[in-house]
Structure formats: structure tokens, C-alpha cells
Amino acid sequence: MSAASLPYAEPNIRTILIQSCLILLLNIVNFVLDKALYCGLIGQFLLGIAWGTPGANWLDGEAQNVFVQLGYLGLLLMVYEGGLSTSLKALKANFVLSCLVALTGICFPIGFSFVLQRLMRASPLQAFSAGASLCSTSLGTTFAVLGTTGLVRSRLGVVLTGAAMMDDVVGLVMVQIISNLGNAKSAFSYSDIVRPLLVSIAFAICSPLVCNFFVRPATVWLNGIREQNPSGYTNLALSKSHTSLLIHIFVLIGLVAGFSYAGTSNLFAAYIAGACISWWDEAVPHPTFSSNNYVFSTGSANLVTVEKLDARSSDLHKYQKSSESTEDLESMSSGLHIYLRYYSQSVNTILRPLFFASIGFSIPITDMLRGAIIWKGLVYASLMIIAKLVCGLWLLKFSMSTTFVKRVISWMKGSKISYLFSQTSKFNSSLPPEFSETDPEPLQDQILEISEVNQRTPSAEHIESVESKSRSIYPASILGWAMVARGEIGFLISSVGEANEIFRQNPKSQQSSDIFLVVTWAIVLCTIVGPLAVGLLVRRVNKLQGSKGRENTQIRGDVLGKWGAFANQNGD
């Protein structure tokens, strides 16, 4: 018989000190490492190892389970924020490239993992299961890195987000595959394998249809009511930021619950929820009128209320720096603004640090510190790093193809036009978004605009240096290293394989299997090395960007080129 209530018990001073010190150190280490290397999450990860079961075991099992659950809420909200920061039009414009990057990031780790047949005497099934553990990309780490480096709304960020999301969906399908392969007592069912993938695709297709054919007409209908009676209760209710907050909460919880019960990823649901709200902010028309108590705006901006928000808030200041225009800052009920006002402080200081610390709880560090396991883990981790770095080659391929097409067109149109085309990469970052490289505007309009910006005739060496800068390896390197980070999905797949005795060569053994430990080494090292490398690259890029205006410098134009520019409504 269950108890009628839980007796309240005051925690002892040891518990208070251990938990409070952990939360404080998670934030302090994150601040220091973010300022130095843009990778504060690595410090949080290591603190989780130290405080949890793998290290000193200062936290009891119940507290670690609670931290894991709170951390997963933080992961859901981080992915939701990534959806809010993504333009669906930009994602659609870069969909093919994201698919190519994701497919490369899935196939190469699985293919390279068959080296375990020689390295660990693994069976083909064990090698495939190991590769499945390493084919995913950590969504939490991806969004944390993008948010810290300020690339979340760039074209590079859009491509990376799309690829990481596809890898996550495939990774969750792999969980079911590994579980079914390890369960020899039950019949193998293809529906258990195909269902998560088909449901994910179905929701990805149906969500835009619902938004376009149901949400848009409903919004237009409400706009008509609000315009007819600006002082009515409907308009007054919808003008409150709390109303937007409730709507966004229902959308997020509803989609997460629906996706989970349907059999697919709730992380994917959180991203779809954020993307749908972002679409509503950008694409749906809003009424334009003003009164004494409220103001409306049109176009891509939402309803603007006159509610005061502390402009000295660090979150609002960060948002103001990263916004493309002042319209985003004025939109008091947009999805991103609501997130920054109501969610960001608790996510950034409590939930996100607990998520990365909780990853450290699951690392069997003592079993991994054996000589044979260490060197085999390093070899396998190196192969898994290379398998994801290959993804960055797609950016080099697209950049070189674009440059080749420009040169052909320039040759056909003459030397004067060739000079004007050669200036595109130099002034791309200073031009309005509608004059970006992949904009469907006529090329002649771009040429005229560029000719107004600069009338000087440079030397041939200067033209060649500007053209060569469009083939910078920094965007490809950042993309490749960002894809290297594994994390929650990788640990989940490997744990399922270990629990189903797929990795065990001796089923009677009570210790962790050697293959599982080698796979864990690869996941841990990739989760640490990936964000660290991205942080160092971004720090280098920022240094080059800061020196590009100095005399006698070799830095010409934007270091990241079109990949570092904001992804506007045309997908650039």
C-alpha cells in the first residue's frame, strides 16, 4: 500500500554543500572556458565525472537521477531554442546540402567501424552496432556551440542544425534496430525499425502543411476581428506577452507528447515546435494600427506591446547584439523574445549545466583506464573524428563550384564585368541580405549595386586574392569539427547494445565489455575534442576578422564568406 504523502525532510548540510558547490562550479567553469575557448560545456562534462558515480560519487543515486531528468528538460529547451532561431525558408534553401552532410556523417562512421573486426576481433554485428553509436551528432552540444559562438542564425549554422537533426533521427532509429537485434527471444519486426523513421518524416511533412493551411487562415481570421475592434477583449488578450507564452508552451508540450506517443524523437518534436513558432513570427501577416496602450507592426514582426523589459538584462543585451534588425528586438511577443525573457536564465544557469554534467555521470572511467583499452580507444576515436571531418568537404565543394561558375560567367561577359564579379566576396558581408550570392535577384542588379560601392580599379593580384578567399577552409573546418561531437544519443545507443549483450564476447562476465569501453572512449573524446576545436577555430576567425581592416594585412573580406552571413528569408 502506497503512502498518502511524502514526509518532508530537511536535507543535511553535506547534501546542501555538495549540490550548491556543483551548481556554482558548473557556472563558473562554463563562464571561464566560454570566454577563453567557447567550450564551457567541456568543464561541465568533467565536473559531472568528478561529482558522480565515475568519480568521487559525492551525489547519491537519487540525486543523480533527478539531475539527469532536469538536464534532459534543459536539452529539450536548448533544441527548442535552436528551432526558434532557424528560418524555415533558409532551411529549405539549404536542405540538399544538409542532407548530403548528414548522409556523409552517418555512412563514414559506420563504414570505418568495421575496423573493429581486426582491432577487437568483433563480429560484423558488433562493428555495425559500434558504428551506429558513433553516427549521431549531439544536438545539445551542437546548439550550445552555435549559441556560444554566435553562429546559430548564420548559413553555416542552418546547414549544421539540419544535418545534426537528421543524424539524431537516424540515431534514434538505430536505438530500435540495436534493441531488436539484441533481443533474440522475440521475432525480428521491420515495423519496429521503420516506424520511427516514417513517423519522423510524416511529422516533418505534415507540420508545414498544418501551419500553412490551418494556422495561417486562423491567424488572418483573428487579425480581422482585432482590426474591427481594437479595444475588444480578443485584441487585449492577444496583445499580452503572457498569452504568447501560454500558446508557445502548449505548442511545445503538445508536439513533444504527440511525437513521443507516435514513436519518434521528442527532441525532433522540440525543434519542430520552435521552427513552427519562428515561421509564424516571420511569414504570417499581422495587423497594423496603434492606440494608447498597444502598437502593432506588419511583415515579419509580431505584435508589439508597450510592456517594459529591463534593457540592462544580459540576455536581452545578448539578443540585441545578435539580432539582424531592431524589428526583432521590438517584437515583444515573438518566440525568441519570449524564450529569452522567461526561459533563458534558468536554462543557461541550471538546466543546461546539469545536462552536460549528467553525461559525465554515465562514463565508466575506472573500467576504461586499462592499457589495451586506452590505446584501442584512441585509435578508434581518431577514426571516428576523421569520419565526421569528411562532412566539411561539402562546403569546400559548394564554394569551389560557385567560384567556378562565377569565373565562367565573368569570362563570357568581359573583363569589366569580371572585375565587378570579383568584388562580390569582398563586399558580401556589408551588402543588404537581398544582394547575397544565392539570392534569386538578377545578377545585373548585383553588379550595379557592387559598382556603386567601389569605383576603384584594383590590381590583378588583388582580384585573385579576393577570389581565393571564397575558398577559405574555415567554414568547412568549423562544420566538420562541430559534427564530431557526439553525446546523449551515442551513449544511449551504446548502452542499449551493452544491455542487450551485443558487445559482450563473454555473456557470463559481470564487467563492461571491451568493445563497449572502446566505443565509450570514442564518444567521450569526440564530445570533448569537437567543441574544443570549434572554439579554437572561432577564436581564430574572430581574430582575423578584427584585423581585416588594418593596413598591410592579408585578410581580405569576410573570413567565413557567405557561410558566416545571416540566413535571410531567401535562404542565404
The CATH code of the domain at 14-390+475-546 is 1.20.1530.20
104 within 8 A of 171, measured Cβ to Cβ: no
Half-sphere exposure of residue 85, counting CA atoms within 13 Å on the CB side?
A: 30
What one-character-per-residue DSSP string does 312-375 give? Answer: T-HHHHHHHHH-SSHHHHH-TTSHHHHHHHHTHHHIIIIIHHHHHHHHHHT--HHHH-SHHHHH
In the DSSP assignment, the letter for residue 503 is S
406 within 8 A of 419, measured Cβ to Cβ: no
Q: Which of 38-42, 285-289, 546-550 has the lowest mean pLDDT?
A: 546-550
**Residue 162 CB contacts under 8 Å (≥ 6 apart), including other chains:** 91, 94, 95, 98, 99, 101, 102
Cα separation of 251 and 216, whole Å? 15
pLDDT top residue among 415 and 160: 160
**pLDDT tier at 147 (50, 70, 90 boundaries)?**
confident
In the DSSP assignment, the letter for residue 434 is G
**pLDDT tier at 558 (50, 70, 90 boundaries)?**
low
Cα–Cα nearest to 42, from 356, 284, 401, 404: 356
What number of other Cβ atoms are within 10 A of residue 310's Cβ?
10
**pLDDT tier at 260 (50, 70, 90 boundaries)?**
confident
Cα–Cα nearest to 380, from 521, 527, 572: 521
pLDDT at 414: 53
**Residue 196 CB contacts under 8 Å (≥ 6 apart), including other chains:** 169, 172, 173, 176, 263, 264, 265
Q: What value does the mean pLDDT of the chain take? A: 75
Position 508 pLDDT exceeds 50: yes
Domain ranges for the chain, please list them: 14-390+475-546, 392-474
**pLDDT tier at 433 (50, 70, 90 boundaries)?**
very low
What one-character-per-residue DSSP string does 531-551 give? Answer: HHHHHHHHHHHHHHHHTTTST
Bridge partner residues of 566 (DSSP): 154
384 within 8 A of 134, measured Cβ to Cβ: yes
Q: Which of 19-23, 243-247, 317-321, 537-541 has the lowest mean pLDDT?
A: 317-321
User: Of all residues in the chain, what percent are helix, strand and coil, respectively (each to 5)?
Assistant: 70, 0, 25
**b/e burial code for range 273-308 (CB count within 10 A of at least 16 → b):** bbbbbbbbbbbbebbeeeeeebbbbeebbbbbbeee
As a whole number of angstroms, the longest Cα–Cα distance in the chain is: 88
SS3 of residue 433 by DSSP:
helix
What one-character-per-residue DSSP string does 265-306 give? Answer: -HHHHHHHHHHHHHHHHHHS-----B-SSEE---TT---EE-
570 within 8 A of 439, measured Cβ to Cβ: yes
Position 562 pLDDT exceeds 90: no
Supply the pTM of this predicted model. Answer: 0.72
